[in-house]
Amino acid sequence: GAGVSQSPSNKVTEKGKDVELRCDPISGHTALYWYRQSLGQGLEFLIYFQGNSAPDKSGLPSDRFSAERTGGSVSTLTIQRTQQEDSAVYLCASSLGDRGYEQYFGPGTRLTVT
Amino acid sequence: AQSVAQPEDQVNVAEGNPLTVKCTYSVSGNPYLFWYVQYPNRGLQFLLKYITGDNLVKGSYGFEAEFNKSQTSFHLKKPSALVSDSALYFCAVTPGSARQLTFGSGTQLTVLP
């Protein structure tokens, strides 16, 4: 079946611009996660959605970062006023449930801020 | 707060030999433990997990891992390495009370022909 898809695969933007990254989870998966992978910081949790519950935003590094999940499916991660330190690969994952369920990852969006 | 240590940045092994990639963890309560593999320019691919039960868990592509509570370890193993196993391996943990994964720094495995 179809896995997690993310778009775009690559994004180059100028410092100060806003960007939107999209994630399509596996159909039927109720939990959705965003992570960031960078050379200096490794893999970091950003935000988590489960069903209709309020998202867990505890990993967002600043208020320039936000995310939404529409209709319990597609999610968009928005970074406002991008900075060079935002350059990283942004990974989306989904799972059937939360505790104990393995997460399935998309291929990621490589963001480069110039 | 939970943490994961992968003490080896790089592991080299000859094809056909057994391989071990080490992982130790720190977490409050019972841990849920995972191994993922990442090939170049790809996302993470799930290999196996330990939630409860038998300490030896088997996963994809012939990999297995042993949960050792006293040593707080969850080492990844394979009896006979393949060149195609060369990739970046991540160990991850979450306490039963949480959802998001905390990852180790990764171990680059190179299997030499």
pLDDT in tens, B28-64: 888 999 999 999 877 899 999 999 889 999 999 999 9
How confident is the model at residue B7, as a pLDDT?
A: 96
Amino acid at the residue A62:
S
Query: What domain range includes position B21?
Result: 3-107
Task: Quote the percentage of chain A above a pLDDT of 70.
Answer: 99
Give the closest-approach CA distance of A16 to chain B in angstroms.
26
Closest residue of chain A to B44, computed from CA coordinates = A105
Domain-embedded: residue B79: yes
- 3-class state of residue A36 by DSSP: strand
Q: Between β-strands A109-113 and A10-13, what pairing exists: parallel, antiparallel or unpaired?
A: parallel
How confident is the model at residue B42, as a pLDDT?
A: 79
How confident is the model at residue B34, as a pLDDT?
A: 95
Closest residue of chain B to A95, computed from CA coordinates = B99
Chain B residue numbers with beta carbons less than 8 Å from the beta carbon of A105 are 36, 43-46
Domain-embedded: residue B112: no
> Is A99 in Cβ contact with B45 (below 8 Å)?
no
Domain-embedded: residue B113: no
Q: What is the mean pLDDT of chain A?
A: 93
Mean pLDDT of A93-98: 87
Give the closest-approach CA distance of A105 to chain B in angstroms.
6
User: What structural domains and CATH numbers belong to chain A?
Assistant: 5-108 (2.60.40.10)
How confident is the model at residue A76, as a pLDDT?
A: 97
Give the closest-approach CA distance of B49 to chain A in angstroms.
7
How confident is the model at residue B112, as a pLDDT?
A: 97
Amino acid at the residue B45:
Q
Mean pLDDT of B53-81: 96
Whether residue A23 lies within 8 A of chain B, CB to CB, comes out as no
Task: Tell me the torsion sign for CA atoms B93, A37, B62, B109.
Answer: negative
> Is B45 in Cβ contact with A103 (below 8 Å)?
no
Q: What is the mean pLDDT of chain B?
A: 94
Strands, sheet with A5-7, edge to edge from the N-terminal-most edge strand:
A5-7, A19-24, A75-79, A65-69
Domain-embedded: residue B31: yes
Banded model confidence at residue A99, pLDDT cuts 50, 70, 90: confident
* CATH number of B84's domain: 2.60.40.10
Report the DSSP beta bridge partners of residue B66. B56, B75
Number of domains in chain B: 1
Cβ(B87)–Cβ(B53) below 8 Å:
no
Mean pLDDT of B8-27: 97
How confident is the model at residue A42, as a pLDDT?
A: 87
Report the DSSP beta bridge partners of residue A14. none
Instruction: Find how far residue B47's CA is from the centre of its chain.
Output: 8
Interface mutation vs chain B, best among A29, A96, A102, most B CBs within 10 Å:
A102
- Res. B97: pLDDT tops 90: no
Mean pLDDT of A82-97: 94
Spatial separation of the C-alpha atoms in residues A65 and A67, rounded to whole Å: 7
Mean pLDDT of B85-106: 90
Whether residue A13 lies within 8 A of chain B, CB to CB, comes out as no
How confident is the model at residue A1, as a pLDDT?
A: 60
pLDDT tens string A46-63: 999 998 888 999 999 999
Closest residue of chain B to A38, computed from CA coordinates = B105
